[in-house]
Amino acid sequence: MKIGLVVPAAGRGDRLAAGRPKAFVLLAGEPLLVHAVRGALSSGVVDVVVVVVPAGMRDTVLELLAPLDCPDLRVVVGGGERQDSVRAGVHALPSDVDGVLVHDAARSLAPPRVFVDVVAALEAGAVAVVPTLAVSDTIKRVVDGVVVETVDRRELAVVQTPQGFRHDALHAAHEAARGAAPATDDAGILEALGHEVRVVPGAPEAIKITLPQDLLLAEVLVGAAPT
Ligand code: CTP
Ligand code: MG
């Protein structure tokens, strides 16, 4: 299967509040985006890379990613919502791509094994695949400040990226979702259209860097990673 990687990296990073767009914030001396793309390429399953960036950052990104030797690198400008950015990225893929991995720049430490597992599930015939982790906290449903239910956490999962899709299905789903209320992940858009979404094991170290404390944890995890 020919696999395209779409990396949404066009967000502002308001919650991290690090004075620059989040994908360009440094982790162990390198931008989050560089970590994310390097991890994906190390998997050996990616043939084309599309990075979606804030306006005015194209040249910076080409320069940052040059040392990584991306097989076929395209850089496009994103939109107001994550979903708009992913759609722009999907549109920039060559038409002969069979499967697409959508992977947030903010989830910089996803290990290569997850990319391999997601692609293996696509090759086995899945239309949509997400990496998941079990929920370790107790989860309650709260309405108007009152607990109304303790949810059975054995049925819940935390969802990560990279998420994998058949190219045609992802393209059609993003077109169908144009103008609708933005989804928080791409699998959600396919779910809404009735597609089955399969799961593979996620990785606990693949945290999404959202808040300043996430960046601190990521620094520790990078230090702990085997070289
Ligand atoms: N993203 C994007 N385009 C947007 C919004 C988000 O490409 N309009 C990307 C981000 O760059 C990030 C991923 O989607 O890699 C996940 O989004 P999130 O963690 O929410 O990042 P930000 O939107 O940058 O952060 P915040 O919501 O705190 O501003
Ligand atoms: Mg956001």
- Prediction ipTM score: 0.99
| Tens of pLDDT, residues 105-125 | 999 999 999 999 999 999 999
Per-residue pLDDT tens digits for 187-224:
999 999 999 999 999 999 999 999 999 999 999 999 87
Dist. CA 15 → ligand 1 center (Å): 10
The span from the CA of 226 to the CA of 112, in Å, is 13
Both tokens of 104, joined, read 């947030």
Cβ of 90 closer than 6 Å to ligand 1, yes or no, is no
Query: β-strand 163-166 against 146-150: which pairing, if any?
Result: unpaired
Question: Which tokens sit at 175?
Answer: 């077109």
Look-up: residue for tokens 């791509």? 97
Structural domain range at position 197: 3-224
Exposure of 55 in the CB half-sphere (CA atoms within 13 A): 2
d(CA 49, CA 36): 12
Structural domains of the chain, count: 1
Atom of ligand 1 nearest to the CA of 107: 15
Structure tokens at 152: 């059975």
CATH number at residue 152: 3.90.550.10
| pTM of the model as a whole | 0.97
**Which residues neighbour 216 within 8 Å (Cβ) at sequence distance 6 or greater?**
none
Confidence of residue 183 (pLDDT cuts 50, 70, 90): confident
For residues 21 and 47, give the distance between their C-alpha atoms in angstroms, rounded to a whole number: 27
Give the amino acid at 142: V
- Ligand 1 binding pocket includes 22 (Cβ within 6 Å): yes
Largest CA distance in the chain: 54
Ligand 1 midpoint to CA 149 (Å)? 31
CA–CA dist 23, 11 (Å, integer): 8
